[in-house]
Structure 1
Amino acid sequence: MTDTNDDVDLVLRTMARTIVDNAEEFAQLDAVAGDGDFGFSLRNGFEVVGSDLDSFDHTSVGALLKKVGFVIAGKVGGVSGPIWGTAFMRAAATAGERTSLTGPELIEVLRASITGISQRGQAELGDKTLLDALVPAVDSLEASITEGFDDGGVAAVQKAADVAVSAAEATLGMLAKRGRAAYTGERSRASVDAGATAIGVILQDISAAWRDSRQGAGQ
């Protein structure tokens, strides 16, 4: 599914652009129950990723993801830096020296990221964090890969993105158990989780970019 570093670049570049473009919206969501710095903190790191991506080590998928992880951990403040940085570092370690990823290998990389996020943030499903959107999205993608497809993964990625959006919307009414929002108690039920929402927005943009790249290449 992800055959070359070009595909990884596409995902990273789209992710960076989406985070930068939506930083204010993400921060406003975070401000309802958190400290309101989520979107701006992420933007600090992903601006660098977006602008410097071409200069990063592209000798392997692992090397590229490792560099992104270093940038995020170093540039993103608050709790987001360690958590998102860990996600990329765990992904990098799992991808290793591979220069391409099969569908099942991609799922392994994503699962490693999830484990890193869970361990670093001491969070699990139902705690009202980004995991509540990311895990269902990866589950969806894995199911699509297992079933197989002949469209370059276009429908599979879109389905995963749609699942993430629905899961993020479902965090409305949930009690936050991790992060700054947890300190607000019952008030945290009044809004969707900013991190989960960000995952949905990011995956929708990745899906659109993936579709365009496949159609342009004739799949």
Structure 2
Amino acid sequence: MSQERVEYVMRTITDQCLENEKYFGDLDAVVGDGDFGYSLARGFEIVRDQWDTFDRSDAGTFLQKVAVTMSGRIGGTSGPIWGTAVLRAAGVVKGKTEVTGDDVVAMLRAAIVGIQARGGAELGDKTLLDALAPMADTIEEQLAAGASSDEIAKAAATSARAAAEATKDLQARRGRASYTGERSIGSVDPGAVAVAVLAEKIAEGW
């Protein structure tokens, strides 16, 4: 995809994190401290306000600027986690103005590794990884099958949503929700749902 598509993806993420501030916060309040939506919104608020100032010499540089900007304002654990994810993804496409499907998979894999290193989470710990990793797998599978970019975007969104809903059956082992132990079973992980919402909106306007 072109660098314009990269910007479209990041703009969609920015707009949706602002639009869903209350929704994400309400999800987090079920077993967490309820600040997830607020924290994300404060970081992406700055991204929105500084949007026109970001260096667009290549996709990696652009994403790096976004990562530094957002992570500096997002509080709690979300800032380091989401900032690291975008920063690691940026490193994959440093110097590139055209991003391939394989690049997208590599970006997501790099983001996942970064999140694991920063937060210590693994698959099954009831975090955003439980939606992000299956989505990356789906994109890779769709690419191998020769699907179009529209088909891949829709499949990725479907996969992320199904995976996010499946976090109801998991017990939280990271973050504030982990303090509730087995009481965290039965509610979705807000980070995983956020991934699903973002994927769906990206696919909707693709």
Shorter-chain TM band: over 0.9
Question: 1:173: Cα distance to partner?
Answer: 2.5
Question: 1:50: Cα distance to partner?
Answer: 2.4
Question: 1:54: Cα distance to partner?
Answer: 2.4
Whole-Å Cα distance in 2 between the matches of residues 105 and 205 of structure 1? 21
Bigger mean CA deviation after superposition, 47-56 or 15-24: 47-56
Whole-Å Cα distance in 2 between the matches of residues 79 and 160 of structure 1? 26
- Give 1:50's aligned residue: 48
1:86-133 per-position Cα deviation (integer Å, ceiling 9, x unaligned): 011111112111111111122111110111011111011100000000
For residue 192 of structure 1, the aligned residue among 174, 188, 200 is 188
Question: 1:52: Cα distance to partner?
Answer: 2.2
Code of the residue aligned with 2:158 in structure 1: it is: D
Whole-Å Cα distance in 1 between the matches of residues 52 and 111 of structure 2? 23
Whole-Å Cα distance in 2 between the matches of residues 7 and 53 of structure 1? 15
Q: Supply the RMSD in Å over aligned alpha carbons.
A: 1.0
Instruction: Verify: 1:208 aligned to 2:204, yes or no.
Output: yes
Whole-Å Cα distance in 2 between the matches of residues 53 and 5 of structure 1? 15
- Give 1:116's aligned residue: 114
- Give 1:182's aligned residue: 178
SS of the equivalent of 1:172 reads helix
SS of the equivalent of 1:75 reads coil
- Give 1:90's aligned residue: 88
- Give 1:11's aligned residue: 9
Whole-Å Cα distance in 2 between the matches of residues 51 and 8 of structure 1? 18
Instruction: Verify: 1:38 aligned to 2:29, yes or no.
Output: no
Q: So what's the TM-score if we normalise by structure 1?
A: 0.91
Instruction: Verify: 1:167 aligned to 2:163, yes or no.
Output: yes
Code of the residue aligned with 1:15 in structure 2: it is: I
Whole-Å Cα distance in 1 between the matches of residues 51 and 140 of structure 2? 27
Question: 1:144: Cα distance to partner?
Answer: 0.8
- Give 1:144's aligned residue: 142
Code of the residue aligned with 1:206 in structure 2: it is: I
Code of the residue aligned with 1:28 in structure 2: it is: D
Whole-Å Cα distance in 2 between the matches of residues 156 and 173 of structure 1? 27
- Give 1:214's aligned residue: none
Question: 1:51: Cα distance to partner?
Answer: 3.1
- Give 1:80's aligned residue: 78
Whole-Å Cα distance in 2 between the matches of residues 143 and 92 of structure 1? 22
Q: Which one scores higher on RCO, CA 8 angstroms, separation ≥ 6?
A: 1
Q: So what's the TM-score if we normalise by structure 2?
A: 0.97
Whole-Å Cα distance in 2 between the matches of residues 177 and 74 of structure 1? 26
Counting aligned pairs with the same residue, the percent is 48
Whole-Å Cα distance in 2 between the matches of residues 196 and 11 of structure 1? 17
For residue 61 of structure 2, the aligned residue among 47, 50, 63 is 63
Bigger mean CA deviation after superposition, 28-37 or 94-103: 94-103
